[in-house]
Amino acid sequence: MNGSNSITLFARALLFSAVILLAGSAKSYAQESDIKAAVNAYHVALDSLELSKMEPLWVHDTNVILINPADKSVSVGWDAVKKDWQAQFNFLSELKVTQAEGPNVSVKGDVAWATGIAKAVAKSKAGADAGGLVYESDVFEKRAGKWLLVSHVALQVPK
Protein backbone atom coordinates (compact mmCIF):
# COMPACT_ATOMS: atom_id res chain seq x y z
CA MET A 1 0.00 0.00 0.00
CA ASN A 2 1.43 3.38 -0.96
CA GLY A 3 1.46 6.55 1.15
CA SER A 4 -1.51 8.08 -0.68
CA ASN A 5 -3.72 5.05 -0.02
CA SER A 6 -2.69 4.99 3.65
CA ILE A 7 -3.61 8.65 4.07
CA THR A 8 -6.98 8.07 2.35
CA LEU A 9 -7.77 5.06 4.57
CA PHE A 10 -6.71 6.98 7.68
CA ALA A 11 -8.88 9.96 6.70
CA ARG A 12 -11.86 7.66 6.08
CA ALA A 13 -11.34 5.99 9.46
CA LEU A 14 -11.23 9.38 11.17
CA LEU A 15 -14.36 10.50 9.36
CA PHE A 16 -16.17 7.27 10.27
CA SER A 17 -15.11 7.65 13.94
CA ALA A 18 -16.35 11.26 13.98
CA VAL A 19 -19.72 10.20 12.55
CA ILE A 20 -20.07 7.49 15.21
CA LEU A 21 -19.15 9.92 18.01
CA LEU A 22 -21.53 12.58 16.74
CA ALA A 23 -24.36 10.06 16.45
CA GLY A 24 -23.77 8.99 20.05
CA SER A 25 -23.63 12.60 21.22
CA ALA A 26 -26.88 13.42 19.42
CA LYS A 27 -28.60 10.58 21.28
CA SER A 28 -27.17 11.81 24.59
CA TYR A 29 -28.27 15.40 23.92
CA ALA A 30 -31.74 14.16 22.91
CA GLN A 31 -32.02 12.15 26.13
CA GLU A 32 -30.82 15.10 28.22
CA SER A 33 -33.42 17.24 26.49
CA ASP A 34 -36.08 14.63 27.28
CA ILE A 35 -35.09 14.67 30.97
CA LYS A 36 -35.16 18.48 31.08
CA ALA A 37 -38.64 18.32 29.54
CA ALA A 38 -39.66 15.78 32.22
CA VAL A 39 -38.40 18.10 34.98
CA ASN A 40 -40.32 20.98 33.40
CA ALA A 41 -43.49 18.84 33.18
CA TYR A 42 -43.04 18.02 36.85
CA HIS A 43 -42.89 21.73 37.74
CA VAL A 44 -46.00 22.39 35.64
CA ALA A 45 -47.81 19.60 37.51
CA LEU A 46 -46.68 21.10 40.83
CA ASP A 47 -47.97 24.52 39.83
CA SER A 48 -51.37 23.04 38.94
CA LEU A 49 -51.88 21.67 42.48
CA GLU A 50 -53.74 18.75 40.84
CA LEU A 51 -52.95 15.15 41.66
CA SER A 52 -54.36 14.09 38.28
CA LYS A 53 -51.50 15.98 36.58
CA MET A 54 -48.86 14.57 38.95
CA GLU A 55 -49.87 10.88 38.72
CA PRO A 56 -48.83 10.22 35.09
CA LEU A 57 -45.28 11.48 35.79
CA TRP A 58 -44.48 8.77 38.36
CA VAL A 59 -43.78 5.06 38.37
CA HIS A 60 -46.58 3.49 40.44
CA ASP A 61 -44.74 0.85 42.45
CA THR A 62 -43.51 0.17 45.97
CA ASN A 63 -40.00 1.54 45.39
CA VAL A 64 -40.71 5.19 44.56
CA ILE A 65 -39.52 7.81 47.06
CA LEU A 66 -40.59 11.39 47.83
CA ILE A 67 -39.24 13.98 50.25
CA ASN A 68 -40.72 17.48 50.09
CA PRO A 69 -39.19 20.45 51.97
CA ALA A 70 -41.82 20.45 54.74
CA ASP A 71 -41.99 16.65 55.13
CA LYS A 72 -41.14 15.10 58.48
CA SER A 73 -40.54 11.65 56.96
CA VAL A 74 -39.79 9.89 53.69
CA SER A 75 -42.74 8.70 51.61
CA VAL A 76 -41.93 5.26 50.17
CA GLY A 77 -44.17 3.51 47.64
CA TRP A 78 -46.70 4.99 45.26
CA ASP A 79 -49.56 4.97 47.81
CA ALA A 80 -47.49 7.00 50.30
CA VAL A 81 -46.20 9.35 47.58
CA LYS A 82 -49.75 9.94 46.32
CA LYS A 83 -50.94 10.63 49.89
CA ASP A 84 -48.08 13.11 50.41
CA TRP A 85 -48.93 14.98 47.21
CA GLN A 86 -52.62 15.10 48.13
CA ALA A 87 -51.73 16.59 51.54
CA GLN A 88 -49.43 19.17 49.89
CA PHE A 89 -52.09 20.16 47.37
CA ASN A 90 -54.80 20.34 50.07
CA PHE A 91 -52.59 22.69 52.13
CA LEU A 92 -51.60 25.10 49.33
CA SER A 93 -53.68 27.61 47.42
CA GLU A 94 -50.82 28.69 45.12
CA LEU A 95 -47.49 27.28 44.03
CA LYS A 96 -45.05 28.40 41.35
CA VAL A 97 -41.78 26.55 40.84
CA THR A 98 -39.14 27.85 38.43
CA GLN A 99 -35.70 26.48 37.71
CA ALA A 100 -33.00 28.78 39.13
CA GLU A 101 -29.92 26.64 38.36
CA GLY A 102 -29.75 23.50 36.25
CA PRO A 103 -31.08 20.98 35.89
CA ASN A 104 -27.82 19.11 35.61
CA VAL A 105 -28.64 15.87 33.82
CA SER A 106 -26.93 12.48 33.57
CA VAL A 107 -28.28 9.54 31.58
CA LYS A 108 -27.12 5.92 31.82
CA GLY A 109 -29.26 3.60 29.74
CA ASP A 110 -32.83 3.60 31.04
CA VAL A 111 -31.97 5.53 34.23
CA ALA A 112 -31.36 9.26 34.49
CA TRP A 113 -30.97 11.80 37.24
CA ALA A 114 -31.28 15.55 37.39
CA THR A 115 -30.18 17.96 40.09
CA GLY A 116 -30.63 21.67 40.42
CA ILE A 117 -31.89 24.60 42.39
CA ALA A 118 -35.48 25.76 41.96
CA LYS A 119 -37.31 28.79 43.30
CA ALA A 120 -40.63 27.96 44.94
CA VAL A 121 -43.20 30.64 45.70
CA ALA A 122 -46.16 29.29 47.64
CA LYS A 123 -49.18 30.42 49.61
CA SER A 124 -51.11 28.28 52.06
CA LYS A 125 -54.90 28.19 52.03
CA ALA A 126 -54.68 30.06 55.36
CA GLY A 127 -52.93 32.91 53.50
CA ALA A 128 -49.36 32.40 54.76
CA ASP A 129 -46.55 32.97 52.26
CA ALA A 130 -43.96 30.22 51.95
CA GLY A 131 -41.23 29.11 49.62
CA GLY A 132 -37.66 29.90 48.82
CA LEU A 133 -34.82 28.15 47.09
CA VAL A 134 -34.91 24.36 47.09
CA TYR A 135 -32.35 21.79 46.02
CA GLU A 136 -34.03 19.18 43.82
CA SER A 137 -32.74 15.72 43.04
CA ASP A 138 -34.82 13.60 40.66
CA VAL A 139 -34.27 10.04 39.47
CA PHE A 140 -36.08 8.85 36.37
CA GLU A 141 -36.56 5.45 34.79
CA LYS A 142 -37.50 4.98 31.15
CA ARG A 143 -40.56 2.77 30.83
CA ALA A 144 -42.41 2.18 27.57
CA GLY A 145 -40.43 5.00 25.98
CA LYS A 146 -41.36 7.57 28.66
CA TRP A 147 -39.18 8.98 31.45
CA LEU A 148 -40.98 8.54 34.79
CA LEU A 149 -39.99 9.64 38.28
CA VAL A 150 -38.86 7.04 40.79
CA SER A 151 -37.47 9.53 43.31
CA HIS A 152 -37.89 13.21 44.04
CA VAL A 153 -36.07 14.91 46.90
CA ALA A 154 -36.55 18.64 47.49
CA LEU A 155 -34.75 20.27 50.40
CA GLN A 156 -34.66 23.90 51.44
CA VAL A 157 -31.37 25.57 50.58
CA PRO A 158 -29.83 26.93 53.78
CA LYS A 159 -29.88 30.74 53.99
The pLDDT tens digits for 102-115 are 999 999 999 999 99
Sign of CA dihedral 84, 150, 115, 56: negative
Split at pLDDT 50, 70, 90, the class of 22 is: very low
Angle among Cα 130, 40, 48 to the nearest 5 degrees reads 50
Cβ neighbours of residue 19 under 8 Å, at least 6 residues apart? none
pTM of the model: 0.80
Give the distance, in angstroms, between the CA of residue 141 and the centroid of all CA atoms in the same chain.
Answer: 10
Q: Strand 92-108 to strand 75-76: parallel, antiparallel, or no bridges (unpaired)?
A: unpaired
Name beta bridge partners: 124: 92
